[in-house]
Structure 1
Amino acid sequence: MTILDVPASEIVALTLDHVYLAGLPLVIGLLLAIPLGWMALRRAWLYAPVIASTGLLYTIPSLALFILLPGVLGTQILDPLNVVVAMTLYTIALLTRTVADGLSSVPEATRQAATAMGFSTVRRLFQVELPLAVPVIAAGLRVAAVSNVSIVSVAALVGVQQLGILFTDGFNRNAIGPIVVGVVGCLFLALLFDAIILGIARLLTPWQRAVAS
């Protein structure tokens, strides 16, 4: 079975590759951005350098990063690890400020109440501050997810398998079918990631559903 001159089995394989290359860095980047954002917020003198330095990561051209990373990591140019590391850096760049902003949105009275109840700093972070910051962090995560899905396709220029390969294939063969399939596939993944993040955010903030109802 083919769809616009692209075998269905190839579409499925490339889509799964794209999910891996865009989704895994999203999770790793979030896990790294949380302590970075928290540290920047707790130490005023660290805020500017941490936010500025992580933000600068996003200014590095993706194609240049995909080409340079094999020399840094000691990997082959076609190794998907290069893309995972690059996309993780971009995710950190987008989410560190978001995490800091989300945590700063927690009312000071809430922090003081948690401290008065005997919460340690770390326990307060995970049981009070992060849950209340979920809406802000989720909003930033949605932007990062869409960005990752888009930027990963550039890795097709260095031969890494994912939906972007359909763009280069269509261009080389002067065929519009593969390009259309690639665009639709990327749009589908962006919407899928967005829906998953929204669903998880709703599960983590049941009080917001109660207020809405």
Structure 2
Amino acid sequence: DFGVYPTVSAEDMLDHFAVLKGVTRRSERKEVVKALLHRTNLYNVRKKKLGGYSGGMKQRFGIAQALLGDPKLIIVDEPTAGLDPAERNRFHNLLSEIGEHVVVILSTHIVEDVSDLCTNMAILSSGELLLNTTPREALDLLRGKTWKKLIDKSELAEHEERHDLIMSRLYAGRLQIHVKADARPDASFEPATPTLEDVYFSTLGDGPKPAAQAA
């Protein structure tokens, strides 16, 4: 998230930033601002004060601001955090469209953002690069090697000792675990389609993974 001037409209704020970017001719600024507002789907609310914008609208305004001056690279940090599904979809479409012309570096913990938006991905931990590949190739690392099983919470410690546990998630009082193995660990396990979340946890290391509460 980032701050905005709550009493200023999006149109006036972009006009001001355009001046700071060196667009001094009023007619040129007007066309630049108009194009950016259309591109980010904010033209119909261009007169509205930024303080009245939703979180998603503010994010799109931030992209409009970043696009001033025709940059070759844009870095966005956790852009969809806190957005509702409709606004998140709009933002995905916007970033995809921008990515056709500009290099976009996306920093996020939301794995769906990576699978939906990124042609290349990297996993970092404590400043160390652990994985650098494409989402498809990342999934191939675990394809045919990911197995799932529903267990009682009391059984988790035993499975942590016996298996290469990728992750565990709580569902209605029981845990679904994903483990990594070249072959089915035993008849109680079923094949699981690997996700980028599995790749993330598996790449981070062998330590036990805390159960995440299902939404």
Q: Same fold (TM over 0.5)?
A: no
Bigger proportion of residues as helix: 1
Work out which of the two has the higher radius of gyration on C-alpha atoms and give 1 or 2: 2
Calculate the TM-score normalised by the size of structure 2.
0.22
Bigger proportion of residues as strand: 2
Task: Flag the structure with more relative contact order, 1 or 2, with Cα contacts below 8 A and sequence separation at least 6.
Answer: 1
Calculate the TM-score normalised by the size of structure 1.
0.22
